[in-house]
């Protein structure tokens, strides 16, 4: 009996929290008890709502900008809402189809797809959107080619399983005959195919130590070339679109300093990637709210990420949305989720054929 009443009152509390957050999200104004009472169909008076609101405030979910104002969700409040209160929506098949159409590339190129993905996400969500793209470095060797382009220069072409391609101009010490080049390519494509790019150098080094290797010279040359090529290859690339959506939000109009801090963070791609790297290995949508983002100046923002994988062997990446903390989480969540699925499927299907 007591348990029933507890869940009942819990349910009501959550409902009220939901109304407050929904309202605050759409108006950016502190929410008063009167308004909640009106939105809540069950005819409770504003006084009762007020009692519940103090509970929610004591629980750390709400706060007041000042004594005579309505309530505003705290970071913890948003967190609880996202984890336990909001009802997760799904995009309609129609909306999903729209995404599919918009990310369809002219040629199946990872970069192109994910550039499109971030643009699409930004436009549909009216928020800043991003995509982290795995490069060859995260994948396994499908093919390696060397094209001589001048006396001392080679073009080293790295092709990963998902047909991600990276090219690097490598300056070689000494000269290289045509036959040598052919032998080298043959060696690379018989010995290294299927290995992760990340382990190539290590593998070759191990073979170098096993001295009497009859391929010693080939192994050494391969190592030199790949060392150069992989050194300048980034592990992932970042696309970012629609930063302008964010600064049009009232919280940033009020406080230009926040805008500056935010843009400084976005300018420093490396710092951003460092944050996103963790999310790429999660296996579902992740939400980071306000201070959770962990960057001092940007506690007014939240971001959501959804990971994807390219084929079975391929590297992993993520798409995401960045906006003010006060954002429509259910909608944003469904969007990044759908986008990640579309990207995965696009390359999964591809991989199957």
167 binds, among its own copies, DNA, none (CB under 5 to 8 A by kind): its own copies
86: tokens are: 């909001």
For DNA (CB under 7 A), the number of binding residues is: 27
57 binds, among its own copies, DNA, none (CB under 5 to 8 A by kind): DNA
Tokens 């010995």 -> residue? 191
The pattern of x and - marking residues 21 through 40 that bind DNA according to CB under 7 A reads --------xxxxxxx-----
- Please, what is the minimum distance in Å from the beta carbon of residue 259 to its own copies? 5
Torsion of CA 24, 25, 27, 29, to 10 degrees: 30
- Please, what is the minimum distance in Å from the beta carbon of residue 74 to DNA? 14
Of the residues 47, 209, 210, 352, which one makes contact with DNA according to CB under 7 A = 47
Cβ nearer to DNA, comparing 51 with 92: 51
- Please, what is the minimum distance in Å from the beta carbon of residue 287 to DNA? 26
67 binds, among its own copies, DNA, none (CB under 5 to 8 A by kind): DNA
How far is the CA of 5 from the CAs of 9, 11, 58, 337, 346, in angstroms? 6, 10, 20, 36, 49
Rg (CA), the chain: 26
d(CA 299, CA 277): 20
- Count of other CB atoms within 10 angstroms of residue 7: 10
- Please, what is the minimum distance in Å from the beta carbon of residue 162 to its own copies? 11
149: tokens are: 């382009």
* End-to-end CA gap in the chain: 59
Of the residues 43, 173, 175, 353, which one makes contact with DNA according to CB under 7 A = 43
3-state secondary structure of 249: coil
Q: Which helix (H) or strand (E) covers residue 207, if one does?
A: helix 200-209
Cβ nearer to DNA, comparing 30 with 73: 30
Residue numbers 50-109 binding DNA by CB under 7 A: 50-51, 53-54, 57, 64-71
155 binds, among DNA, its own copies, none (CB under 5 to 8 A by kind): its own copies
Cβ nearer to its own copies, comparing 59 with 195: 195
DSSP string, 306-324: EEEESTTTS-EEEEEEEEE
Positions touching its own copies (CB under 8 A) are: 106-109, 112, 142-143, 145, 147, 149-150, 153, 155, 157, 159, 163, 165, 167-171, 228, 231-232, 241-244, 247-248, 252-254, 256-257, 259-260, 263-264, 266-267
Tokens 């391609």 -> residue? 165
290 binds, among its own copies, DNA, none (CB under 5 to 8 A by kind): none
d(CA 314, CA 110): 11
112: tokens are: 């192109």
Q: Which residues bind DNA (CB under 7 A)?
A: 5, 29-35, 43-48, 50-51, 53-54, 57, 64-71
């Amino acid at each position: 009996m007591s348990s029933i009443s507890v869940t009942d009152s819990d349910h009501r509390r959550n409902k009220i929290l939901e109304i407050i957050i929904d309202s605050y999200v759409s108006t950016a104004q502190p929410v008063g008890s009167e308004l909640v009472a009106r939105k809540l169909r069950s005819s409770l008076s504003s006084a009762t709502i007020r009692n519940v609101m103090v509970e929610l405030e004591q629980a750390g979910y709400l706060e007041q900008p000042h004594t005579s104002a309505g309530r505003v969700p705290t970071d913890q409040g948003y967190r609880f809402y996202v984890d336990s209160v909001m009802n997760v929506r799904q995009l309609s098949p129609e909306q999903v189809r729209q995404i599919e159409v918009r990310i369809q590339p002219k040629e199946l190129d990872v970069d192109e797809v994910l550039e499109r993905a971030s643009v699409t996400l930004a436009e549909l969500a009216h928020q800043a959107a991003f995509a982290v793209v795995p490069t060859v470095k995260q994948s396994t060797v499908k093919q390696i080619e060397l094209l001589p382009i001048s006396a001392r220069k080679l073009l080293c072409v790295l092709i990963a399983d998902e047909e991600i391609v990276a090219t690097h101009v490598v300056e070689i010490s000494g000269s290289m005959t045509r036959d040598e080049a052919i032998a080298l390519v043959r060696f690379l494509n018989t010995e290294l195919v299927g290995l992760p790019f990340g382990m190539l150098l290590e593998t070759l080094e191990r073979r170098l130590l096993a001295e009497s290797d009859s391929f010693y010279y080939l192994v050494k040359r391969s190592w030199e070339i790949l060392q150069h090529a992989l050194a300048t290859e980034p592990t992932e690339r970042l696309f970012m679109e629609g930063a302008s959506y964010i600064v049009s939000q009232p919280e940033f109009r009020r406080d230009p300093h926040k805008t500056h801090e935010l843009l400084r963070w976005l300018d420093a791609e490396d710092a951003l990637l460092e944050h996103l790297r963790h999310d790429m290995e999660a296996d579902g949508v992740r939400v980071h709210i306000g201070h959770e983002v962990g960057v001092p100046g940007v506690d007014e923002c939240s971001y959501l990420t959804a990971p994807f994988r390219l084929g079975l062997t391929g590297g992993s990446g993520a798409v995401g949305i960045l906006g003010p903390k006060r954002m429509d989480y259910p909608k944003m969540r469904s969007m990044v989720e759908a986008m990640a699925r579309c990207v995965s499927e696009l390359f999964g299907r591809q991989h199957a054929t």
